[in-house]
Structure 1
């Protein structure tokens, strides 16, 4: 098995929205804001090369929406999904499976692209299956008013219409062993219903793709919960459970949204689970 970080692009979001009720004087110690209160974030995806399978976990915002839409998210830097795949030695058409932790636009927008004459949409990965789960699919396609702006139909419905959509099995508890893609999945419901956190066994290590359960290093303290979470009290419980597992089992936490920290480990302290060590993906994957 080989692992590759794939940067699908950088963005900025309002620091207050990213940290909910936590005062700015606390969160900006780890996530400094610019003059407009925006903090630097990224969409760091993960490519798994395993036998004859090439699995991409999440794929960023894509490029279908208007200039006005992307203006809300302040893109910065020169990274893109295609350039990152090329740097790793691959092309979109090589991907066999696209696994989406959840269907918010910054995690699945790259799944679908305009067709050639921009009269409709088509899969951006023509040879891949798209993986979600039935409960989250229903949640996303019949969205609540809180999340409606994050579930964009043009990102989601063409996957089903293409015939390339598949659903992974749902768990009897909150940890599913041996998914169809060869890794375990931790299901978390605080951010959105049935978000999936992959746990990949790699060279005697467990790599946890943290998605929006832990967006950045700054979100390690339990009360530091995003304003975007639909059930913040549930997020508190899920973070506590998962971070204790991570500390006890020395998980390597792959951070999807932290622009400046790629992989971390955590440890138990008197104040709860806190940062232990910081690694680059090169440290762990090479």
Structure 2
């Protein structure tokens, strides 16, 4: 198995929204804000090459939304999904599977492209993977979350016939060495890949752990639908990661790509930070 970091660019979100009830005087030490209280976040995806499968985990925000939409998120950086794939010798047509942790716009936007007046999957040769619980949650969104579920990012996948569902279970196996964990604090049935790689386990954190600055259990985002559920899930997975020396792959940390965690007197805290290439 080969793993490749896929950087798709950076965006900004309000620091207070990202840290919930945690005071700015605390969170700004790890995630400094600009004059508008906005912090920079990565949209870091992961490419898994295993046999004849080339699996892309998440797709970033894409480029098909309006200028007004993008103006709210201050996109910056030179990375794009296509450029990052190319840097590893791949193109969009080489991808066999697109694994979507969940369907919020900053994770699924690059899965669909606009060509002329039509919307179509960006990866014409790929099977797209979600799960039934989350799909129904996304296409029938609640009032609070519906701004994150954009129909133009989601429905063309189903209309193309490329949509597939993973069974929601505690030990879902996607392929050999690639299991799926399900959590529902951030949004219903978000999927987190657990990948065996070079004798280690890598847990793709999606939005359960946006950055190392979010490691204390109560540091829950305002974007989470069920904060107490998130805290319970974080306690479980952070503890499991510390006990088993998992590598945590961070999708949104603008500085740190991977980390390990450890038990301390103050609870679970970061142990080491490094890049995927360092493993």
Shorter-chain-normalised TM-score: which range?
Answer: over 0.9
The reply to whether residue 69 of structure 1 matches residue 74 of structure 2 is: no
* Partner Cα separation in structure 2 for residue 266 and residue 94 of structure 1: 35
Query: Residue 179 of structure 1: CA displacement?
Result: 2.5
Match of 2:54 in 1: 54
The reply to whether residue 188 of structure 1 matches residue 183 of structure 2 is: yes
Deviation per CA, 1:12-42: give whole Å up to 9, x if none: 1110010011100011111011111111101
* Partner Cα separation in structure 1 for residue 173 and residue 159 of structure 2: 28
Secondary structure of the residue that 2:187 maps to in structure 1?
coil
Match of 1:43 in 2: 43
In structure 1, runs of 5+ residues without a counterpart are none
- Pairing 1:196-275 to 2, within 5 Å after superposition: 196-275=191-270
Secondary structure of the residue that 2:229 maps to in structure 1?
helix
Q: Give the conservation status (yes or no) of the 8 Å contact 1:13–1:41.
A: yes
The count of residues paired between Structure 1 and Structure 2 equals 279
* Partner Cα separation in structure 1 for residue 143 and residue 167 of structure 2: 27
Match of 1:119 in 2: 117
* Partner Cα separation in structure 2 for residue 180 and residue 247 of structure 1: 25
Query: Residue 182 of structure 1: CA displacement?
Result: 4.8
In the alignment, which of 157, 162, 170 is matched to residue 164 of structure 1? 162
Deviation per CA, 1:141-166: give whole Å up to 9, x if none: 00000110000000000000000000
Deviation per CA, 1:66-115: give whole Å up to 9, x if none: 11100100011111001000001100000000000000000001010012
In the alignment, which of 143, 159, 164 is matched to residue 141 of structure 2? 143
CA RMSD of aligned residues (A): 0.9
TM-score normalised by structure 1 residue count:
0.96
Q: Give the conservation status (yes or no) of the 8 Å contact 1:53–1:97.
A: yes
In the alignment, which of 145, 151, 154 is matched to residue 153 of structure 1? 151
TM-score normalised by structure 2 residue count:
0.98
Q: Give the conservation status (yes or no) of the 8 Å contact 1:168–1:180.
A: no
Deviation per CA, 1:197-226: give whole Å up to 9, x if none: 100000101011100000000100011000
Q: Give the conservation status (yes or no) of the 8 Å contact 1:169–1:179.
A: no
Match of 1:89 in 2: 89
CA gap 1:204/1:181 in 2 versus in 1, 3 angstroms:
closer
Which ranges of 4 or more aligned residues in structure 1 deviate by more than 4 Å?
none
In structure 2, runs of 5+ residues without a counterpart are none
Secondary structure of the residue that 1:157 maps to in structure 2?
helix
* Partner Cα separation in structure 1 for residue 200 and residue 177 of structure 2: 15
Deviation per CA, 1:256-281: give whole Å up to 9, x if none: 00010000000011111110001112
Query: Residue 181 of structure 1: CA displacement?
Result: 6.9
- Pairing 1:14-53 to 2, within 5 Å after superposition: 14-53=14-53
Secondary structure of the residue that 1:198 maps to in structure 2?
strand
Query: Residue 177 of structure 1: CA displacement?
Result: 3.9
* Partner Cα separation in structure 2 for residue 123 and residue 177 of structure 1: 25
